[in-house]
Amino acid sequence: MKKRHYYAISYPCGVAINANTGDRYGQYYCFDSKSARDEWVEGGGEFRSSPNWREPIPSKDAELRRYLRLDEEWRSHV
């Protein structure tokens, strides 16, 4: 049985996206439980424009899925 994961992103300078690709400028994080993810998200910046703004990302998000696929491919070559 596949284990379920919950994802979030942290934006170091507030919410920002790449004007050319539309990809987010931030770092993704993976959690084993929704409560752990939600607690982590609450510890971020106060506003979307604040440094260290954090938000949950649904596991079906297209950009996240692409990132996970690329990461998996990279690990298979190491």
CA 46 to chain CA centroid, nearest Å: 18
33 — phi, psi (to 5°)? -140, 150
What pLDDT digit, counting tens, does each position of 9-25 carry? 999 999 998 889 889 99
DSSP symbol at 22:
-
Residue boundaries of the structural domains of the chain? 6-76
What pLDDT digit, counting tens, does each position of 15-65 carry? 998 889 889 999 999 999 999 999 999 999 999 999 999 999 999 999 999
